[in-house]
Structure 1
């Protein structure tokens, strides 16, 4: 009886909570946005409302492939994007769901517009307008092209 109970508990745990999952850019589209006024910046920002499926990945190790973007000036700031910088990564109707902020475990040596596969712990950010809505922490990556 104990074995049956343990088996049922194990199969009821969503698989993505145990293993890393490869997400697509379409998976990140499960979000809606509404304008919210920010007193600090005296401006309106898009506040995300994440859907239940993408919420289920929060805190999980995920992998996504995209174009590396390096916005490092005074401090390191990296993103991976559905679109390359060379074709205006945020133009043509692309929204906040088309970029993921990446916080690497170790210093990154990638160049802007190289295609990488990045793996990290997914954080969903709905409050801090100084960071992206999707953040990968403790990230590692490998060059695809």
Structure 2
């Protein structure tokens, strides 16, 4: 009986540790954008149409590695980027799909500019709120620095 209990315990602990999905920046490129007018701010903005592979990730725990950009550290506003700040995420071929807004689980976490980290959290897709990124990682926490 003890042996069966240990085997079941081992099985469930392994399945829990693999419940997150490891993604990369290429995965997040399954999105297209259209310019759409916003009366609220009297300007055009990119509004996303998410592809099927990205839609499948919504609400799931994902793991992704990137560069931290401290946008407003005093208010705990950080972005995870495919590229370092010096490469400017909207310059060249990068676009809004190359950044993720971090909703940090631990509000005391602090990061340096271009600090490379692996984060995990719940992926939320944002297609309407112009004041937030298209990708948001809720309950985000560092897996590996």
TM-score bin, normalised by smaller chain: 0.7 to 0.9
For 1:78 and 1:88, the matched residues in 2 are separated by 15
Unaligned runs of 5+ in 2: 1-17
Question: Once superposed, what is the RMSD of the aligned Cα atoms?
Answer: 1.4
Question: Which residue of structure 1 lines up, in the alignment, with residue 5 of structure 2?
Answer: none
Output aligned runs, 1:105-120, within 5 Å. Answer: 105-106=105-106, 107-120=108-121
For 1:77 and 1:134, the matched residues in 2 are separated by 14
Question: Which residue of structure 1 lines up, in the alignment, with residue 75 of structure 2?
Answer: 75
Question: Which residue of structure 1 lines up, in the alignment, with residue 124 of structure 2?
Answer: 123
SS at match of 1:54: helix
TM score, norm. by length of structure 2: 0.83
Q: Can you list the C-alpha shifts for 1:61-99, whole angstroms capped at 9, x where unaligned?
A: 001100001011662211100000123232112100000
- After superposition, the Cα gap between the structure-2 partners of 1:20 and 1:100, relative to the gap in structure 1 and judged at 3 Å, is same
For 1:67 and 1:93, the matched residues in 2 are separated by 17
Paired residue total: 127
For 1:128 and 1:89, the matched residues in 2 are separated by 20
Asked whether the equivalents of residues 31 and 49 of structure 1 are also in contact (C-alpha less than 8 Å), the reply is yes
Unaligned runs of 5+ in 1: 1-17
Asked whether the equivalents of residues 83 and 90 of structure 1 are also in contact (C-alpha less than 8 Å), the reply is no
TM score, norm. by length of structure 1: 0.83
1:90 aligns with 2:120: no
For 1:85 and 1:97, the matched residues in 2 are separated by 15
Question: Which residue of structure 1 lines up, in the alignment, with residue 34 of structure 2?
Answer: 34
